[in-house]
């Protein structure tokens, strides 16, 4: 049953700025409602991954605030945000290559969800099953191809029991058939109640899942709204698709 006293937003980014000598995010505000699936698009260098890093706690903003479920986590480290229900996948999967697939996911379920040993094992098995990786549980992570590395990345995130999942170009480098499979998996996760924030260059994958898109350019929001309307807007065509009117 939904808690009527819970905040409406799963994530609030409030007037956030981040510079690395040159501004990368400039006074950006962005909110994601509980249970939403939201896509983020923009050209390379738009600040998309930096925004995810600010939400996840891998970076701290120079100015502004980040809230998770109404709680200010701006200065909290990534592991505390994970314990609050936030998980993410990396653009380039970096598993523990010396461990098996199962051991990789067990690390996530043990330290991310803070469960007792037996429960963490059950959670790891469930995450592998949900991502189609159970049959490869005993394979070493170093032996995996790109699709399976991305599945493992997703399994590790799910093993922390997230309420909010940040996806950073998880479809990148996959074949059309693999992208179609991934779309169905993300749909299932969203239908199961997980809030999704997804950065992706493969726009048709986003449109198949998300209900809203935010477009960025040079660290600023340039459009936000219904996916097809945003992608058809003149501002997005100009900076993201390169089509000048």
Q: What is d(CA 143, CA 146) in angstroms, rounded to the nearest whole number?
A: 10
pLDDT at residue 210 greater than cutoff 60 = yes
Domain boundaries, the chain: 1-85+162-245, 86-161
Q: What tokens does 172 get? A: 């990148």
Task: Report the pLDDT averaged over residues 131-145.
Answer: 96
User: Residue 106 gets which letter from DSSP?
Assistant: H
Of the pLDDT bands very low, low, confident and very high (cuts 50, 70, 90), residue 118 is confident
Of the pLDDT bands very low, low, confident and very high (cuts 50, 70, 90), residue 4 is low
pLDDT at residue 54 greater than cutoff 80 = yes
**1-85+162-245 belongs to which homologous superfamily?**
P-loop containing nucleotide triphosphate hydrolases (3.40.50.300)
pLDDT at residue 1 greater than cutoff 70 = no
Average confidence score pLDDT of the chain: 92
Q: Please list the helix, strand and coil fractions of the chain in percent, rounded to the nearest 5, in that order.
A: 40, 25, 35
Q: Residue 2 has what pLDDT?
A: 47
Q: What's this model's pTM, rounded to 2 decimal places? A: 0.91
Task: Report the pLDDT averaged over residues 200-229.
Answer: 95
Nearest Cα neighbor of 97 from 147, 49, 162, 153 is 153
pLDDT at residue 197 greater than cutoff 80 = yes
Q: Residue 11 has what pLDDT?
A: 97
- DSSP-derived secondary structure for 25-57: EEEEEEEEETT-EEEEE--TTSSHHHHHHHHHT
Q: Residue 244 has what pLDDT?
A: 40
Q: Cα Rg for the chain, rounded, in angstroms?
A: 18
């Amino acid at each position: 049953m939904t808690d009527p006293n819970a905040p409406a937003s799963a994530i609030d980014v409030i007037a956030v700025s981040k510079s690395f000598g040159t501004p990368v995010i400039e006074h950006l505000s962005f909110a994601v409602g509980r249970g939403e699936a939201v896509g983020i698009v923009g050209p390379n260098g738009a600040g998309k991954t930096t925004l995810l890093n600010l939400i996840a706690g891998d970076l701290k903003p120079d100015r502004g605030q980040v809230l998770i479920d109404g709680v200010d986590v701006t200065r909290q480290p990534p592991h505390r945000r994970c314990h609050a229900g936030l998980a993410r996948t990396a653009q380039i999967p970096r598993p523990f290559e010396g461990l098996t697939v199962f051991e990789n996911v067990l690390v996530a379920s043990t330290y991310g969800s803070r469960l007792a040993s037996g429960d963490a094992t059950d959670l790891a098995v469930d995450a592998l099953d949900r991502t189609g990786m159970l049959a490869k549980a005993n394979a070493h992570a170093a032996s995996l191809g790109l699709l399976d590395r991305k599945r493992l990345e997703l399994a590790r995130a799910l093993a922390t029991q997230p309420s909010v999942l940040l996806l950073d170009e998880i479809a990148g480098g996959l074949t059309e058939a693999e992208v179609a499979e991934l779309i169905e998996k993300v749909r299932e996760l969203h239908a199961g109640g997980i809030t999704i924030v997804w950065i992706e260059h493969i726009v048709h994958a986003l449109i198949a899942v998300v209900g809203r898109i935010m477009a960025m350019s040079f660290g600023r929001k340039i459009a936000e709204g219904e996916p097809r309307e945003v992608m058809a807007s003149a501002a997005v065509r100009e900076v993201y698709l390169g089509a000048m009117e």
